Homo-oligomer: A and B are copies of this chain.
Amino acid sequence: MEKIREFELSKEYLESLKESVEAEDIAFIRDTMDGANEADVASLLDELDMEDALFVLRVLDKEFAADILIELDEEPQFKIVQEMDSPELASLLDRMESDDAVDILHQLVVKDREEVISFLQEKEKSGHILELLRYEEGSAGALMAKEFIKANLNWTVVQTIDEIRRQAENVEKIYSIYVVDNKESLIGRVALKKIILSSSDTKIKDIYEEDLISVPTYMDEEEIAEIMRKYDLEALPVVNAKNKLVGRITVDDVLDVIRDQAEEDMQAMTGISDDVEESDSVFRLSKARLPWLMIGIFGGLMGARIIGIFDEGLRQYVELASFIPLITATGGNVGIQSSSLVVQSLAAKSVFAESIGKRFAKVLLVAVLNGIVLALLVFGTVVFVYGNKVEFGIVVGLALFSVVLLASFMGTVTPIVLDKFGINPAMASGPFITTANDLLGLAVYFLVAMMLLKL
């Protein structure tokens, strides 16, 4: 990446930064970070101990420190927020947009939160923050900022420019001016481009566009991300039940939502708890991975019990053991395919989605079709290539067919049920559910075999 003003985001600079913190060389820190981007400095501070990072933040300009604090990774940010006392934290929050301030406050217990708010200097901002804190996390209300520019439809362009000037300090990025009527209802927008190109006495009502997408405060953040992607929006106004404009969501926040969601899904699928990265300590990495591996182990141990039940049959027909991996692996693959298709369609929420009944009929048909193809393939190989008895080929083929049906059904139902209970449906592809499916598959395989072979 090339930048006009180069800031050294390198291991070497990180070392000299650590040394300068050690030596309390405040001048070095201030000089080298002058004009740097807050996100770059945050990446550096993420690599420091909490005390060192806090030292750097404290010697920098408060405006800059506030911007950096917002950009820190979850863990270092949490630690630093806990460490600061209320007046210090409040002085930084005073320099943030309301939505960022609320993100920080969410990391404190309610008691500390209120204390910090009492230290805020700007009364308007503390009002905004108290309002935003009321919305449920993950909703449009919690994601929006109270900073935006609105204009009454009877204003002229010059009046609107005055409003922009008045708010210039508070609203970092202006994309559109939102237009409201005398009742403060949102009725449209004017692009900044149009303000520039119109003469100063033009009335807003003559240049605004009615074609505008807004969302209610309770809308879920994932749905918001999909709307902003679909309609190519960089900002989205939020309205309350009376269509009064109450906030604005910007695309940078949505990019973070999408990233966090992807990471959460990945964690649900791989069963890695916590927010671990490859660069974390061995102990932390190990601890994050063990719980889910243990669920798999308990599943495996229970599987051993299930197979143990069929001990006698297995002794007579030891070839049955050879096909255990075939059965469990196919069940697993079918289950993951089914659930990922459901998860995908749950996320898309299309208006044109088919009815539940029709969807299940389709899942069943696909399963029957695939089950037949796979069962025939396995039957053929077992009998004609591996030279087993036809009877045995039928056993393995039929067991496989049953497992494909079962895994399709479980893979389809599980994410829907999880979603109903407010659990991330991606969990359906995770270790817990796949382990349960393995056990079911094993039981079905041996039951079918025992019945057909009359063991």
Binding site for B on A (CB under 8 A): 1-5, 9-11, 14, 35, 37, 39, 43, 47, 161, 164-165, 168, 173-175, 186-188, 191-193, 195-197, 210-216, 219, 223, 227-234, 239, 243, 251-252, 254-256, 258-259, 262-263, 266, 269-272, 276-279, 282-283, 285-286, 289-290, 292-294, 296-297, 299-301, 303-305, 307-308, 311, 314-315, 318-330, 332-334, 336-337, 340-342, 344-345, 348, 350-354, 359, 362, 365-366, 369-370, 373-374, 377-378, 381-382, 386, 429, 431, 434-435, 438, 442
Contact = CB atoms under 8 A, between A and B. Distances in A.
22 contacts: A1-B215, A1-B227, A5-B210, A9-B351, A39-B231, A192-B196, A229-B255, A233-B252, A234-B251, A251-B251, A272-B340, A278-B359, A279-B353, A290-B374, A292-B337, A293-B334, A296-B330, A301-B326, A303-B326, A307-B325, A311-B318, A315-B315
A435 B329 CA distance: 8
A354 B279 contact: yes
A321 B312 CA distance: 12
Contact of A1 (B213, B359, B374): B213
State the copy count for this chain: 2
A267 B351 CA distance: 24
A282 B227 contact: no
A374 B285 CA distance: 15
Most buried by B among A5, A47, A305, A327: A5
A267 to B, nearest CB: 9
Nearest to A216: B2
A187 B366 CA distance: 58
Nearest to A312: B318
A299 B374 CA distance: 13
B366 A293 contact: no
Enumerate the 3 nearest inter-chain pairs by beta-carbon distance, A residue then B residue, closest first. A300-B326, A321-B321, A232-B252
Nearest to A331: B296
B296 A322 contact: no
